[in-house]
Chains A and B, each alone.
Chain A
Amino acid sequence: MSIYKIEKFIIHEELKESRDVKVILEKYPGVPFEIVSDAAHSDELTLKKGGLYFKLQKYNGQFLTKCPGTPNHICCGYQVISSVMNCHLGCSYCILQGYYHSKAVTINLNSSDLLGELERKILPYPERFFRIGTGEFSDSLAYEEIYNFCNHLVPFFSGQSNVLFEIKSKTGMVNGLLDIEHGPNIMVSWSVAPESIIEKEELFTAPLITRLKAARECQDAGYLLGFHFDPMIYYPDWEMDYKRTVEQIFDYVKPSKVVWISLGAFRIPPHFKSTIIKNFPKSKIVYGELFPGLDGKLRYLKQIRVELFGKMYRWLKGVDKNLCLYLCMESDRVWMKSFGWSPGYTGNLANILDERALYMISNNRSKA
């Protein structure tokens, strides 16, 4: 069942005869559409009464790019696919509000170009390992009912033994995934937070339990799993709530199926504070103790981050000491103070995560 109302499709004229567009329009016969010569510039569109505009366009840029990371911090060396851009899930902290001023969701329908680019960028390098995901510029699953990218990407990546493909979501919309034949290297992840945070800061996302039930279904269907506590929010009851969230996760899934769990604290570029206040006047997250960090972004005071990460580390390792945990965009010093060790630099964290992915894929393969 759809979790949003589709107001209109804006279709790039190059795609008006495409089979994919016809399939979409047939699927939504009552939804009006408009053919435009330049879908990229129809930015005057706004979200109306909860309805969404979708731009169906041919993307001419690079689909696969490196996650930009952030200066002076240790990053994970991840690569992201821009298949869908923008998101309606209404998370107060989401940086996409700053990236996309239009509230229309763009679906880059030229999936054959996408697959061609992936072939060119991956096939010639069998000696290299790639961690790739679709959840950076949108939610990986929220718009699959309109166009099922997973139907293209999961089979493609399942054939690549040097890739871990991560589908990242805050929804429970996994039905489309459960029927797809897939390899041992496909991972479905959820961004997780305590229910109180989900209610206040992630307005149109699925409740935690829905996400965890979906995770269990994916686990049972043979997918690897991941969880991202990012951004963690610091507030008076955070400790009780996050500890409970950790317990809830493992009420639903087996630690042995979890490739990794990442932790990241709320962080924003300074100018973004006013955007959050304007778009989410009831949110209080900008009133945390945020200060400019080494990369100029506003972050919680280091001591607060260390407290958040250090306690989460203990709770998670208390569940299973073999869980792989990492910090997203943090400094060597924060790693040391929170986890008691540090990868030291970006390349090393990337190596550690590659090794972990290979180990988990190999385990998953042997169990298949």
Chain B
Amino acid sequence: MKLEYQMQRLNLTDIDPDNRDFDLSYNPDLTPLARSIKSVGLVYPLIVHDELTNKVIVDGWRRFRVLKEHSIRAFSALVLTRQSRLNLLDIYLAVNSFHRQFNLIEASMIFHKMKSKYGLDDHYIIAHYLKYVNINLSPESYLKILELSHLIDELKKGVALERINLSNAYGLAQLDEGKQSLIAEILRDLQFNTNKLSQLLLYLEEIGNRDETEMEIILDKLGLKTILENSKINSNEKIELILDGLEELRYPHYSRLKARVKALRKALKLPPQINLVTPSSFDGNSFKFELNFNEDEQCRRLVDELRKAIQSTEFERIIELF
């Protein structure tokens, strides 16, 4: 590859803002960069390609955004000429991989571009670019990484900022944009941990498949809007309400039974030091009582309470439910 270039002083208006072929960096937080540019100026010049009528940014989209935001009109740039698009992509990769690893969202966007824009096939990309883009990527992970390019921006941001783990990100990438937007709306207000987010996605997927219902309708049925707008409960309580509601829709018999057992347990009035352990998922016949005590007298009192409890109709009804 022969590089023809020269350093030039450019103006913001020289740049084609609509050509985002190389807008592949994904680090949504521009604050540190803005602080640096404001205090010491632009240290690394942008790399642009001269396209006769205007210039296309090859490297420096984030810097360009900061310059624009702060109305810094003139800046230095390395201007390349007569390069093919694929050469320019290689330059972008070389410049960036020199000082950092691409994150997975960037990797997905780069691979997607290579496939859709430059027609490179999967084998070629794996052989020539995989490790270049991110040393930790394996050929087996390539197709999954590629799927992440289907995420909407807001979810990409969640992945890049590690608020959404990879396995959930893959699940989200399978959804259409409308469904992704609905989930993004929930995640905007509530911080689901990994397990809870995967539970949420699984419930929505399974209820949707079972009932052939759109996600929007399921969330309406759940009363999502009311839950999100309820100012009397905190985020964690909202998450619990959402998951409990979805569990009820996904497993109606199970939820009813669970509620009955909960009510019967309450009526049993066991002290907190006595715990009745029931078979999981209402299957099996192995029940257990756990007693916590500090001294013999307390133990005797608990045993008396236990004796009373096991003679009650509530206890009989609990056992009957399993």
Contact = CB atoms under 8 A, between A and B. Distances in A.
A333 B285 contact: yes
A88 interface: no
A221 interface: no
A294 B283 contact: yes
Interface string B278-321: 00111111000000000000000000000000000000000001
Given A284-B210, A302-B322, A289 B251 contact: yes
- Chain A interface size range: 10 to 19
Contact of A291 (B209, B210, B282): B282
B209 A303 contact: no
Interface in B229-273: 251-254, 257
Contact of A302 (B207, B209, B210, B282): B282
A24 interface: no
A299 B206 contact: no
Contacts of A332: 285
Given A289-B253, A289-B254, A291-B254, A301 B210 contact: no
Contacts of A301: 251, 253-254, 257, 281-283
A294 B284 contact: yes
A294 B283 CA distance: 7
Interface SS, A side: mixed
A304 B253 contact: yes
A99 interface: no
A303 B282 contact: yes
A159 interface: no
A303 to B, nearest CB: 6
Nearest to B207: A287
A291 B279 CA distance: 12
A304 B210 CA distance: 17
A255 interface: no
A293 B210 contact: no
B257 A303 contact: yes
B210 A287 contact: yes
Given A301-B257, A303-B253, A303-B257, A292 B280 contact: yes
Given A301-B257, A304-B253, A291 B281 contact: yes
Contacts of B282: 291, 301-303
A287 B253 contact: no
A299 B257 CA distance: 16
17 contacts: A284-B209, A284-B210, A287-B206, A287-B210, A289-B252, A289-B253, A291-B281, A294-B284, A301-B251, A301-B254, A301-B257, A301-B281, A301-B282, A302-B282, A303-B321, A304-B253, A331-B284
